[in-house]
Structure 1
């Protein structure tokens, strides 16, 4: 854990499983280790795991480094895997026919290296381990980054994957085990919060807050266990405050159980929480993602983009954007363009960007093979002319979208215009849903458009937000803004942000979780323009989503539920000293492990990697190595 490691320096120099899963009771066990006393920690863990086992838990997850604590002054302060801790757990798992995941600093006796690791133990004994891949800066002084990839283990209760705390900072950490068919994510966490007067408070982030919104986007059952309360570390004369909030979430994102948050003023003791998950229940979102993802477009994942990237735009651009939210006259291009103009005109303030909803002047017409010829236009047609007139009239950049006819083919297309009404860029929707595939042609490019006034601009069209790889691709292409013309009813997919209370400011615990995640995991301001949400509630409204909402500086700015041009104000590249920014995201990403995200899912290499789900080596059989 990065803050304690930093203080130490100061003070101490898809292949589906054949197993038929069922509903299972699981437990997240909060536990605060004693520093430099491995045996005392094992004894305490045995007591808690026995309690959870007696209460019927079939999978029990403990926090990060629960066995060892954070201070590793010598090898005796760590453990091996298998080792003393796994042996102690085996006695319990064999007796109660269950599974346990424990976190510890692992001493590798072969290499002599130390890894921040998690071990999985089951009814037959030790099963396997995971080594933390994404280390925060302070951890570099203690541990070596993981070298086992992202293994997924077949068990009688489902396919179990493991991540550890700061692994949450990179989206690919969740995508890779999910592509291997992970049913359950076991996540040991050591998430603390420094008081704001401490310099290290810029490193505060909420792993459990992140996982609460990521779980439904990836579509995975999650058990996340954290430390809780005030933890005294006499070796460095320090008291740390762990935030608790341990959570169990279903694959739909429903919060099944959560412990209360612990704070400096209201610290609380560690707890054990229980819930029942159903690994046989399919996630509609995960099925959509796996069906519609296009790995042939994600090649940038495999490129080393750090430390110097010529595409980076670090200019601080002041953005005054209008998100136009209205109730359209379906199918009436002229009426809708007139309404958009009127809503923009009613805004009394200056602005330099306007974003319109999906199929901006067509409205909520359901397009199909029978009617597409009626609504599709060329890029020199009426709709583009109307949009260009608005951009010129108000001297603003403007993004709108429409069904396009080009060379006898139909597309869903977005056009970015500058303040002279000239086309800055055209994006044709690359990830078509099942209905669109019946009449539309997919675009084959993921462009990011460079502008002098806005920075670098990327576009997602409507339900493309369901494809998480797009977010990281745009980050790697150094987008400063992601603009999303939407036609979102709040029912077809997605849902409200639902982070356990007290882990992030209440003002930041709002909005639609996919849009919320896109901003955080691209580190690009995300602007959504949606039609007027009449029934679904606040989370479906047009909004600005910012980069690090848990810090409280920039919570989502959500439009009221009425027709309007909702104004949002911000400056790009303004707050780059917090725990994450786009540069940090790109520099520390494990690009060397991303290859499976870009493989053909029908190809021999991908299928071998997916089936051989604990092997970090890529496709030795396909490469003729076996």
Structure 2
């Protein structure tokens, strides 16, 4: 399976949808010219990462959301996908009536939507925090996703999706792995220096790859991860877009923090040896001992 990841450089607050979609189309053409049949785009691909600001005007907030997909401004990407025969994952802000979600969709090579996911692990805060050099206000703008972690049939491959902070949580991948997922696509927008004291600049990229590599290995699947990267509206966003094999190895990684396509021909049978041995779930899993995972939200400090 020939997979590509389309990393996207900074998108300004003033950039139009049309301009951004034109960039995505160029990346899709690049991926197709290399022979790729599936492309992963980042989280909230169509706009700047607006949750860094506390915006109070409802009309301005809604301007970052899509009410339909495809819409007039995004349709060229779908038409191009159909022309090229290339499918893609696209992250965007979804307005569903009065509900707001951080969403991704899976579009096949015919330009049709075959899957939708809504981000479940919403990070950050619902209001600005004193002393934080960088605000991260996703809880202000997005509800918790309500679609679970579905897996979708895409020809001979089963594809799952998650978004940004989801990639840090092992439950995300295990639920999909229990549905025999072959490939997990993930888009992210990750800043450096988040928090009251500011996290050391090297750690976000380290944690990004650590999460992706562990997930791929422990869940016997490929992972294709796409960043929105570079200095966007004065905030540095990590790159590090990559494709990870079921061995836990990074097969290919982006070298820049700008628009960049990476691609890899993935041997989907590479997972078979792990699924039949070390991670043979039917032989080795013991779910009767995992109740705390679903019974508790947080760690209990009560006496043991």
Deviation at 1:157, TM superposition (A): 4.6
8 Å contact from structure 2 (residues 229, 239) kept in 1? yes
Aligned to 1:215: 216
Aligned to 2:164: 165
Aligned to 1:176: 175
Aligned to 1:254: 249
Structure 1 residues 529-551: Cα deviation after superposition (integer angstroms, max 9, x where no partner): xxxxxxxxxxxxxxxxxxxxxxx
Aligned to 1:20: none
Q: Secondary structure at the match of 2:199?
A: helix
Aligned to 1:322: none
Q: Which runs of 4+ in 1 moved over 6 A?
A: none
Aligned to 2:302: 311
User: What is the CA–CA distance in structure 1 between the aligned matches of 2:223 and 2:301, rounded to whole Å?
Assistant: 38
8 Å contact from structure 1 (residues 252, 283) kept in 2? no
Structure 1 residues 182-213: Cα deviation after superposition (integer angstroms, max 9, x where no partner): 101111111221289x7343796332331123
Q: Give the total of aligned pairs.
A: 274
Q: Secondary structure at the match of 1:280?
A: helix
Alignment of 1:121-132 (within 5 A): 121-124=107-110, 125-132=112-119
Q: Tell me, yes or no, if structure 1 residue 118 matches structure 2 residue 104.
A: yes
Deviation at 1:218, TM superposition (A): 1.4
User: What is the CA–CA distance in structure 2 between the aligned matches of 1:39 and 1:175, rounded to whole Å?
Assistant: 37
Q: Secondary structure at the match of 2:218?
A: helix
Distance 1:309 1:282, change over 3 A: closer
Alignment of 1:153-552 (within 5 A): 153-194=152-193, 199-201=197-199, 205=204, 206-231=207-232, 233=233, 239-260=234-255, 268-287=257-276, 288-289=278-279, 290-291=281-282, 292-306=284-298, 309-311=300-302
User: What is the CA–CA distance in structure 1 between the aligned matches of 2:242 and 2:66, rounded to whole Å?
Assistant: 27
8 Å contact from structure 1 (residues 42, 88) kept in 2? yes
Pick from 65, 72, 80: which aligns with 1:78? 65
Aligned to 1:584: none
Alignment of 1:94-113 (within 5 A): 94-108=82-96, 110=97, 112-113=98-99
Aligned to 1:134: 121
The two structures have a TM-score, normalised by structure 1, of: 0.41
Higher relative contact order (CA 8 A, sep 6+): 2
Deviation at 1:64, TM superposition (A): 1.1
Q: Cα RMSD (Å) of the superposition? A: 2.4
Q: Secondary structure at the match of 1:210?
A: helix
Deviation at 1:217, TM superposition (A): 1.6
Structure 1 residues 420-451: Cα deviation after superposition (integer angstroms, max 9, x where no partner): xxxxxxxxxxxxxxxxxxxxxxxxxxxxxx5x
Deviation at 1:277, TM superposition (A): 0.5
The two structures have a TM-score, normalised by structure 2, of: 0.82
Distance 1:45 1:248, change over 3 A: same
Deviation at 1:302, TM superposition (A): 2.6
User: What is the CA–CA distance in structure 2 between the aligned matches of 1:219 and 1:140, rounded to whole Å?
Assistant: 32
Q: Tell me, yes or no, if structure 1 residue 44 matches structure 2 residue 27.
A: no
8 Å contact from structure 2 (residues 17, 74) kept in 1? no
Deviation at 1:251, TM superposition (A): 1.5
**Which of the pair has more CA radius of gyration?**
1
Deviation at 1:51, TM superposition (A): 1.9
User: What is the CA–CA distance in structure 2 between the aligned matches of 1:53 and 1:86, rounded to whole Å?
Assistant: 19
User: What is the CA–CA distance in structure 2 between the aligned matches of 1:151 and 1:86, rounded to whole Å?
Assistant: 24
Aligned to 2:56: none
Q: Secondary structure at the match of 2:174?
A: helix
The gaps in structure 2 that reach 5 residues or longer are: 52-59, 125-136
Deviation at 1:153, TM superposition (A): 0.7
Deviation at 1:257, TM superposition (A): 0.4
Deviation at 1:311, TM superposition (A): 2.9
